[in-house]
Amino acid sequence: MTAGLIAIAAAIAIALATLGPGLGQGNAAAKAMEAMARQPEASGNIRTTLILSLAFMESLTIYGLLIAIMLMGQI
């Protein structure tokens, strides 16, 4: 019984940890492309900021994966 609940908790953790950053990354990329189209001369700064923000968003997914691995270690 508890092993099943832990497995479900791990699945929920990884699902939520990938859903939020995935939506955020798509939104950030869309806005960055829009900004580059409006101001091509600032595309270097926009690209640098986008890559940095995508790295921070991806770290949230890695934290969710870490929690799911820790939960699976309890089984």
Model pLDDT for residues 20-74, shown as the tens digit of each residue: 999 999 999 999 999 999 999 999 999 999 999 999 999 989 999 999 999 999 8
**Phi–psi pair at 2, nearest 5 degrees:** -70, -30
Looking at the whole model, is its pTM more than 0.85?
no
Extents of the domains making up the chain:
2-72
Spatial separation of the C-alpha atoms in residues 38 and 60, rounded to whole Å: 30
Quick check: helix, strand or coil at residue 75? coil
Domain 2-72, CATH: 1.20.20.10
